[in-house]
Amino acid sequence: MAGNIATLTSANFDETVRSADTPVLVDFWAEWCGPCKAIAPVLNELATEQAGKLQIGKLNVDDHGDIAMRFNVMSIPTLIVFKNGEAVKRLVGAKGKGQLLQELAEFLPASR
């Protein structure tokens, strides 16, 4: 657990994305992936700023390849948004914060 970001594993993945009362953004990443490291600070910021609207979890594809395979992840970073346990949106490749917010706008009710 790093700040507001949940560490997802083969053991807790299904439970986490199913039971969440907000959409869950899952970051499929690995230690050896440069672009994955580059978006880590962006995800940390989003987790703090969007707390209560969007939950963020990280899944290490090296350690939990079964989950990555289940969702046909063949490129990282891949970000998948889950709503009630269903994968509803998939973003492939690292993106900046502005671009990411735009892509995620449909899941972030404008309450401010």
Tell me, what DSSP letter sits at residue 106? G
Residues 6+ apart with CB under 8 A from 7: 1, 57, 58
CB of 19 to another protein, least distance (A): 28
Question: Where in 33-92 is the site for another protein (CB under 8 A)?
Answer: 33-39, 41-42, 61-62, 68, 72-78, 92
Residues 6+ apart with CB under 8 A from 12: none
Nearer to another protein, 19 or 105 (CB): 105
Q: Pairing between strand 55-60 and 5-8? A: parallel
* 33 in active site: yes
Nearer to another protein, 15 or 31 (CB): 31
CA 56 to CA 63: how far, in whole Å? 18
CB of 74 to another protein, least distance (A): 4
Positions in the binding site for another protein (CB under 8 A): 30, 32-39, 41-42, 61-62, 68, 72-78, 92-99
Q: Mind telling me the catalytic residues?
A: 33, 36
